[in-house]
């Protein structure tokens, strides 16, 4: 299938050739195109022959790329040939199975597509790759990739994935290492399942593949009120045990590898009241999409954010999830001391997913609205930008910043 062009960047080769939105790109230098990765790969050559369909008619365009000139195309969807590759695992803790009906369709897609891993940093399991997929990963050097491991013990991993046919993940990771592909991995921990000695084995096994396996993110299982399995959240005492176990590994691996290699997501430190690690503790990696280092990034940019918020004057109401609320109180005191602007911090319980869900990124507009209407917010309302990551800036329940602003009768700005 062709790639439908959605936009053409000015000052690009595509603009010079007269391409426009709605055109369909069929091939580059004779190569049919499966997705935007093919466009990037085959479109990187100096001499280009593009076959394009416009209004049902095919035409051939030829050009020589100028030095450092971008191709300059964006597409209606990243994959052209097929829909996104779906996950064939049945993890008991899968978040997609824990959300209620009625939300936007994209939230119910269980993707496990290596192409989206390369393009967007989505985590995949390596359980559905064909030999053609493996050849392509090596040929086009699709690096880095992001892999959900959960456990390196093959039998335990199959149990956690709910997939008795899942291949040995270590064999897959070794194959990627031989190709020169960098991999970032994650371990979603479930109490009593893959922690304790299983966690030791997983970290030790993965460290043997450094630097091909570049990082391990350790994340606690997230459970909503719609969870119907036997998983449960961590207790504070259990979280302390994981924190001590992982920090001990970090110390050993830093001496051996020169990096900490394994990184705890922010929930562990926030729940335990532990100090947020300095920027250097993340070894130059950006793992924020996996919940690792989000708070550190905010603290590092706080002086700039403080100046930005001060421009709105006062008073202000800052809302966030329960997990980060105590730390936001500290920032609010600093803000008021430096600017004289009073701030009310509001912790929003997550009634939509259940109050065991405390992260700001899973807050809904309706929960924020319900709480703020009770609190009568003063002045400007400041909400976490991470709430509004859906299409056109939607929250998980489709509400937008503008909707909340209208409903509250207060200016609403996003921060973070």
d(CA 79, CA 56): 21
Strand order in the sheet with 412-415: 343-348, 316-321, 380-384, 412-415
pLDDT tens-place values along the chain, 416 residues long:
789 999 999 999 999 999 999 999 999 999 999 999 999 999 999 999 999 999 999 999 999 998 889 999 999 999 997 778 889 999 999 988 888 887 887 778 888 999 999 999 999 999 999 999 999 999 999 999 999 999 999 999 999 999 999 999 999 999 999 999 999 999 999 999 999 999 999 999 999 999 999 999 999 999 999 998 899 999 999 999 999 999 999 999 999 999 999 999 999 999 999 999 999 999 999 999 889 999 999 999 999 999 999 999 989 999 999 999 999 999 999 999 999 999 999 999 999 999 889 999 899 999 999 999 988 788 999 999 999 988 888 999 999 999 999 999 999 999 97
Q: What are the φ/ψ torsions at residue 348 (nearest 5 degrees)?
A: -100, 110
| Short-list 123, 119, 145, CA closest to 212 | 145
Task: Report residue 151 as tokens.
Answer: 């456990």
pLDDT of residue 83: 75
DSSP string, 125-174: -SSS--HHHHHHHHHTT---EEEE-S-SSHHHHHHHHT-TTPPPHHHHHH
Question: What was the pLDDT predicted at 372?
Answer: 94
Which two three-digit tokens encode residue 130? 């064909």
What pLDDT shows up at residue 102? 79
Q: Is the peptide bond before 211 cis (omega within 30 degrees of 0)?
A: yes
- Strands 380-384 and 3-8: what pairing? unpaired
pLDDT of residue 73: 96
What's residue 279's pLDDT?
96
Strand pairing category for 380-384 and 316-321: parallel
Residue 124: name the closest of 156, 148, 154, 91 by CA: 148
Q: Which residues pair with 320 in a beta bridge?
A: 347
- Tokens found for residue 255: 């001496």
The domains of the chain, with CATH numbers, are: 3-75 (2.30.42.10), 95-291 (3.80.30.10), 296-415 (3.40.50)
End-to-end CA distance of the chain: 39
């Amino acid at each position: 299938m062709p790639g439908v062009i959605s936009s053409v960047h000015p000052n690009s080769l595509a603009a010079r050739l007269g391409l426009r939105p709605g055109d369909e790109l069929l091939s580059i230098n004779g190569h049919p195109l499966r997705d935007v990765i093919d466009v990037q790969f085959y479109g990187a050559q100096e001499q280009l022959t593009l076959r394009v369909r416009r209004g049902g008619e095919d035409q051939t365009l030829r050009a020589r790329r100028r030095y450092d000139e971008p191709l300059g195309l964006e597409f209606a969807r990243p994959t052209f040939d097929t829909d996104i590759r779906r996950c064939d695992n049945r993890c008991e803790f899968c978040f997609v199975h824990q959300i209620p009906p009625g939300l936007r369709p994209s939230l119910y897609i269980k993707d496990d597509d290596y192409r989206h891993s390369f393009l967007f940093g989505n985590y995949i399991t390596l359980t559905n790759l064909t030999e053609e997929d493996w050849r392509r990963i090596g040929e086009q050097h699709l690096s880095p990739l992001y892999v959900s491991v959960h456990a390196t013990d093959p039998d335990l991993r199959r149990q956690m994935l709910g997939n008795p046919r899942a291949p040995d993940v270590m064999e897959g990771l070794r194959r990627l290492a031989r190709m020169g592909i960098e991999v970032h991995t994650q371990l979603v921990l479930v109490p009593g399942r893959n922690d304790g000695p299983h966690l030791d084995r997983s970290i030790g096994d993965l460290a043997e593949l450094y630097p091909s396996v570049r990082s391990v993110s350790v994340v606690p299982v997230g459970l909503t009120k719609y969870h119907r399995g036997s998983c449960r959240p961590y207790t504070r005492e259990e979280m302390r045990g994981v924190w001590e176990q992982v920090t001990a590994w970090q110390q050993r691996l830093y001496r051996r590898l020169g990096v900490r290699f394994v990184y705890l997501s922010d929930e562990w430190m926030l729940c335990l009241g532990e100090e947020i690690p300095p920027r250097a503790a993340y070894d130059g990696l950006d793992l924020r999409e996996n919940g690792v280092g989000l708070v550190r990034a905010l603290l590092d940019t706080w002086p700039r954010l403080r100046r930005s918020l001060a421009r709105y004057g006062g008073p202000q109401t800052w809302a966030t999830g329960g997990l980060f609320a105590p730390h936001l109180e500290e920032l609010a005191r600093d803000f008021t001391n430096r600017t004289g602007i009073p701030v009310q911090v509001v912790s929003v319980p997550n009634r939509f997913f259940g109050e065991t869900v405390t992260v700001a990124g899973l807050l809904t507009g309706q929960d924020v609205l319900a709480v703020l209407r009770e609190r009568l917010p003063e002045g400007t309302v400041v909400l976490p930008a991470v709430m509004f990551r859906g299409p056109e800036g939607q929250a998980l329940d489709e509400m937008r910043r503008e909707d909340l602003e209208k409903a509250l009768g207060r200016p609403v700005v996003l921060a973070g």
